[in-house]
Amino acid sequence: MSQPWRFRRSAVTGFILALTSCVSPSDHGTDGKDASVRLTPEPPGARCPQGGTAIQTGLDDNGDGVLNDSEVQQTSFVCSGGSNPSGQMSLVKLLPEESSTRCASGGIAVLSGLDSNADGLQNDSEVTSTQYLCNSSDGLNGSAYVVKMLPESAGSNCPAGGTSILGGIDVNTDGQLSSPEVTTKQYVCQSVTSLTGAQALIRLDVEPSGANCSQGGTAVKSGLDLNANGKLDVDEVSNTTFVCNGLPGRNGKNALVRLDSEPAGSTCAYGGTSVKSGLDSNGDGTLSNQEVQTTQFICSSANLFRTKWASNPAGTYASGEISNVWVPAGRRISLYKTSDTSRIKITVSDGFRVGANYAAAGAGTYSVRMNGSGMGCDAQQYNWNASSWLQDYHMPFANVCLTEQLPKGLYEFEVWAIASGGTSYVGAGTDRALLLAEELDAPHPYAFSKAGGDTSATGTAYVKATGREVTFVKQTASTLLKVTLADTLRVGYNQNGGWGTVMLWLDGSATNCYTGKYGTQGTGSDFHNPFVLTCILPNVSAAQHTLQVALAGNSGGLAYLGWGRSNPLLLVEEIPNTGVTYSNTGFASGELSGNWSGVGVRQILHTVSAHGKTVKVTYSDTFRATYNCNGRWGAFQLYVDNQPSGCVVGQYSWNGGAAQDQHRPVNLTCIIPNLAAGIHTFAIWSSTLHGDGSSCGSNYFGWNRGQNLLLVEEMP
């Protein structure tokens, strides 16, 4: 029988404490009782700021094999620990010490050191300190070898601080290690920075009589929850220690260990655990305060690297003009991946312009790189006009990419860009460009396809796109399907006023998950624009389903899907119908002009579940700015509680000869942090104000669009 509970490994450096406390009697005696251990969860609080595990121990007085509440003699706590960037965890382990010259009647050996080979085990070669807690020979008057741990400030002994381990004989038998009694002093040092926010788990299994425990006992197993399923699986166990039952004895006194929580304070800045030990002088199986001979401290600290998700800080990220040389665009994030089987989803919400002031044709590429190399997340944008006019088109830009299954560890993502014909520009018209990484894993099922070559269509009849097909099994009828298509679309080749449509089919039937694209610019044109279409499909049965993508060239000009990108992505995620709020109606806004004002039917109320929560807001629609103007900005923005959030993106269209009318798919993603618990309003607002304060034309939302999706999701 096992009873797991998780605790979070905290950052800078702490300890993962593996307890091995075999109750070792003296040479004489009968009537021995078995030691028993029980684990219960400890919620975040004064004892453990980040939660942890309460370890309850005692003697099985009634012999029923269970540690009852009345038999609990000591309760101790294991709080957060941590590691350094090289993976060298500080480990402390307690082992039974047989009768020897060190301890005439046996006792406990305290071993400590750094996990140099990062295997989660304390190997013999890694032990840098060993001290002993000895039982008395007659159970009454033995002098104990006392070990005490104290925090070590940063200095010559430990550059980044750590723990000093003091040892010596308790000559005056007062249960304390006073300064004159200290005969050894050693150090376990922590590193400057931490690495992982992965979670550690503890599990108790019954240990039969054998080589590990002659009378049986309990195996205390620990390790990292690599697959984040909340259970310590067999292949995740990195350390196993034993709490052994005692041999029959008469009158002997056992060495006991007790763990108490240590609140945040001068001893442990982020809290931790105090390890108390001594002899059970009165034989009641409990280590009372009067029997404590040594107190040691295991301190926790803060977490530095993000797990589950990470995004760049809010702010303006304008790149400046980019020529035909690859350059970073100032958007970079790091995420610690906690599982070998998960994938990382990358979401981009930004602005991008290519081919500035370049006659006829211009192109550029927006790329997300992983650890300095390409990851298959490149998307080209292309502009051409038949009249060889100069041009300048700043458009909202979006992309979604998915990594392969990668080993757990730290990954860095960064945006790069290049121009080919004219210059490119990243980030104009947006005050909160977003690069977001999310780890996708259980418990929310998902399926995807990156397959699909170029597809073309020239009529109103839909043509199934090559590849771009996902077959999946929906697990629960009440859940929602969140569908994302990331691709590149051109419509109406060499037409002035060409348009086309991309639609998702479910099980061969049309859905309301579709988007159009339209462009008028006074001459024939060729615009290839990356886009993201996000939809919510409710009321889909729990069964096997197939999603496909179809394309129509409604105006008769050649429509084209898939040009100039690493690959398309069709992703379906099954998400719970709780903790999310959405509106997926399909209404056109009509013409909107002037200063900031709300866009009709694009507002929802969401109840934030707890104080300090962060939400992700996705707005997926079509948008046209400043109708019949040439070279004027129009924009839209997420408002939260009727206040601007700063998550805004704009469209600017100019060429050397004509007014503009550009309806484009848009997919705005916003991260809104630190919200108070309760109801909040999320809405889309519009403005046609140019940078000089003047206004031209009108904005329009929802043309040829099935869903004007506004979705709020709480982040873990």
313: Cβ–Cβ under 8 A, 6 or more apart, which residues?
none
Measured CA angle at 278 (ends 277, 283), to 5 deg: 125
Q: Is beta strand 498-506 parallel, antiparallel or unpaired with respect to 343-354?
A: unpaired
Long-range contact set of residues 597-601: C-beta below 8 Å, sequence gap at least 24: 597/685, 597/686, 597/687, 598/639, 598/683, 598/684, 598/685, 598/686, 599/636, 599/683, 599/684, 599/685, 599/686, 599/701, 601/708
Q: How confident is the model at residue 661 (pLDDT cuts 50, 70, 90)?
A: very high
Among residues 553, 556, 511, the alpha carbon closest in space to that of 533 is found at 511
Quick one: what percent of the chain has pLDDT higher than 90?
Answer: 53
State the average pLDDT over residues 571-584. Answer: 95
pLDDT score of 107 more than 90:
no
The yes-or-no verdict on residue 700 having pLDDT over 60 is: yes
Instruction: Please provide the average confidence, as pLDDT, over all residues in the chain.
Output: 81
Burial class (CB in 10 A: 0-12, 13-18, 19+), 404: exposed
Which stretches of 263-387 are assigned E, i.e. beta strand? 272-279, 294-299, 309-311, 327-337, 343-354, 361-370, 373-385
Tokens standing for 526? 């060729």
Q: Tell me the mean pLDDT in the region 311-340.
A: 91
> Which sequence spans correspond to the domains of the chain?
5-299, 309-714
Closest C-alpha to 190, from 448, 13, 411:
13
- Alpha helix stretches (DSSP H) within 182-302: none
Q: Are 330 and 220 in contact (CB under 8 A)?
A: no
Largest alpha-carbon pair distance within the chain? 104
Mean pLDDT computed over 187-209:
57
- For 289, residues 6+ apart whose C-beta sits below 8 A from its C-beta are none
d(CA 108, CA 167): 13
Tens digits of per-residue pLDDT, 355-376?
Answer: 998 887 999 999 999 999 999 9
399 CB-near residues (< 8 Å, 6+ apart): 346, 347, 348, 366, 368, 377, 379, 486, 530, 532
Structure tokens at 414: 């960064």
Q: Does the pLDDT of residue 352 top 50, yes or no? A: yes
pLDDT bin (cut points 50, 70, 90) of residue 475 is very high
| pTM exceeds 0.85 | no
Q: What are phi and psi of 289, to 5 degrees?
A: -60, -35
Query: Could you report the per-residue pLDDT of 497-516, keeping only the tens digit for each?
Result: 999 999 999 999 999 999 99
d(CA 678, CA 23): 52
pLDDT at 647 over 60: yes
Position 320, amino acid: G
pLDDT of 353 reads 97
Among the listed residues 444, 398, 439, the one whose alpha carbon sits nearest the alpha carbon of residue 670? 398
How far apart are the C-alpha atoms of 154 and 161, rounded to whole Å? 4
